[in-house]
Amino acid sequence: MILTQVLYQSFDRSTVLVTGAGRKNIISGNFAVGTIKDMSGKSMFDSDMPSTFWVASSDNIVTNNVAGGGERVGFMYFGIPCT
């Protein structure tokens, strides 16, 4: 669970849930501001698309969160593809 946290000026991602271990989580009531691109070139993420909340599985509960002042994307959420 990631509940009621304040995240400020992180590089590339403030909150990350990856496939596999990133399932059955609750992310709620968080405030994140100022997610910026990692300019060192050492990021393990797509540094061209920094996002504050990055969720790689649709098997999570993401509710009542705020992302502001980031360089690109507030929420990047990968779900089940449309058919």
| Tens of pLDDT, residue by residue, the chain (83 residues) | 778 888 888 776 666 665 566 788 888 999 988 887 776 666 666 656 778 888 888 888 889 999 888 888 888 887 776 66
Are the C-beta atoms of 17 and 60 separated by less than 8 Å?
yes
pLDDT at 17: 63
Distance CA 1, CA 27 (A): 6
Quote the CA–CA distance of 45 and 14 in Å, as a whole number: 12
Q: What is the pLDDT of residue 19?
A: 57
What is the pTM (predicted TM-score) of this model?
A: 0.74
Strand partners, 32: 7, 67
Listed by start position, the domains of the chain span: 2-77
